Amino acid sequence: MRVLHTSDWHLGRALYNQHRYHEFDAFLQWLSQQIEELHIDTLLVAGDIFDTTTPGNRAQEQYYRFLCRTAASSCCSNVIITAGNHDSPTFLEAPKELLKALNIQVIGTITDNPADETILLHDRQNQPMAIVCAVPYLRDRDVRKSLPGESIEDKLNNLINGIAAHYGKVAETARNLSLKHPTLPIIGMGHLFTAGGQTVDGDGTRELYVGSLAHINAASLPADFDYLALGHLHSAQTVAGQPHLRYSGSPLPMSFADAEQTKKVIIIEFNEKKPSVTELPIPCFQPLQRICGDFSEIATRLEQLKTSKSNAWLEIVYTGSTIESDLPGRIEKAIEGSRIQILSIQDRGRVEKVLQQSNTSETLENMTTNEVFQRCLDAFEIAPEQRKELIFAYNEIVRQIQEEGNRGD
């Protein structure tokens, strides 16, 4: 059996208000070709299908067109899709019964029965192929009950224990099913942030819960999985150095911060329960480049791109020591007659000058919400022993607001 693992498509995502529909079209067309050429039996998509809980018509069209194409494939007999933290569970599950007729299984949220997340896959000859534990993104309210008098540590421990317990229950149903099918591999799916997971600053990866202490240790996950297909982190990587526990990463750069990464999907070939794992690089469908420096350095790089007839999208970061009075105009003039597009120009030189003159080190637009709250604590001279509880409560409020927005229902 040959499986393809992907995640974090974020269909509908824009970059500095620039639509990326042509990139998503190209990726999904490429993915369809790989499924056919590599004779993929099963496709696993581990969450964050869409970038928002209310995707636009174009993003939905891309999603359903791809699913129809895959269902018509001569080789791919199963597609399993789980929800991520960006997805609306009810939106994903709305066509669930219709998609099931096409051998496309969608798991948007957990139920009271862990067996609902345990799927016995069959090939086109109706022979059993694998057991999949399809666990969607677990929200705090799914796995933890608030109790009076809980400390911060209690809340975090209860959250982590709740997530581990849920995976354990789903794995137990898989173990019971494997008694009838002892040679079938057990494949896990999840959308979570594991301890030690690598991110790139600015790549769009969110904290899922309150604080990094809620990252899940690999040892907390069941040992039953012959392969674990994870989503959420946008860089392809293994978990705790174990080659069968993997993030596939996002198929497109989510920002200029991760534009230099080679994006990948993961191919897993099973010989009964033993997996052989291969990383398959994804082509670059739209070049992205960040150019930093003074104007001379920027102009030199722009001329090189222009000469090479590049069609790159650029983020320009000016760091020169002098104030350029018409920086955007000079940059636009430098790319005249080319296919280059400038999506963002950041004048860090001007910012630094203004900050020096005002004897301050920060501006509101350059600060995160956590940094703003930290400055509020400083301004009101909150005692250090009181800050830990206040910061935890603030982060929990922010998380709840994000979750309400992600539910979209």
The string of pLDDT tens digits covering residues 26-65 is: 999 999 999 999 999 999 999 999 999 999 999 999 999 9
Q: Answer with the residue of higher pLDDT: 400 or 46.
A: 46
In this structure, the number of other CB atoms found within 10 A of the CB of residue 17 comes to 7
The answer to which of 62-66, 77-81, 236-240, 322-326 has the lowest mean pLDDT is 322-326
364 — pLDDT class (breaks 50, 70, 90): low
Residue 269 has a pLDDT of 97
CA–CA distance, 5 with 137 (Å, rounded to integer): 16
Mean pLDDT over the full length of the chain: 89
Block residue for tokens 């600015």 = 202
In this structure, the number of other CB atoms found within 10 A of the CB of residue 329 comes to 10
Going by C-alpha positions, the residue among 114, 113, 43 that lies closest to residue 75 is: 43
Q: For 365-381, what is the mean pLDDT? A: 72
pLDDT surpasses 50 at 231: yes
How many Cα atoms are found within 13 Å in the side-chain-facing hemisphere of 238?
9
pLDDT surpasses 70 at 213: no
Instruction: Report which secondary-structure segment, H or E, holds 351.
Output: helix 348-358
Q: Answer with the residue of higher pLDDT: 357 or 222.
A: 222
The answer to which of 28-42, 337-351, 368-382 has the lowest mean pLDDT is 368-382
Q: Answer with the residue of higher pLDDT: 399 or 320.
A: 320
pLDDT surpasses 50 at 409: no
Summarised one tens digit per residue, pLDDT across range 262-286 is 999 999 999 989 999 999 999 999 9
pTM: 0.85
Query: By the 8 A CB rule, do 349 and 320 touch?
Result: yes
Nearest-5° Cα angle at 399, 394 to 405: 130
404 — pLDDT class (breaks 50, 70, 90): low
Summarised one tens digit per residue, pLDDT across range 165-176 is 999 999 999 999
104 token code pair: 């496309």
Residue 359 has a pLDDT of 46
Summarised one tens digit per residue, pLDDT across range 66-105 is 999 999 888 999 999 999 999 999 999 999 999 999 999 9
pLDDT surpasses 90 at 376: no
Query: By the 8 A CB rule, do 11 and 63 touch?
Result: yes
Query: By the 8 A CB rule, do 228 and 7 touch?
Result: no
pLDDT surpasses 80 at 365: no
Residue 200 has a pLDDT of 86
Query: By the 8 A CB rule, do 48 and 277 touch?
Result: no
SS3 3: strand
Phi, psi dihedral angles at 399 (to 5 degrees): -60, -45
Residue 363 has a pLDDT of 55
CB-based contacts of 388, cutoff 8 Å, min separation 6? 152
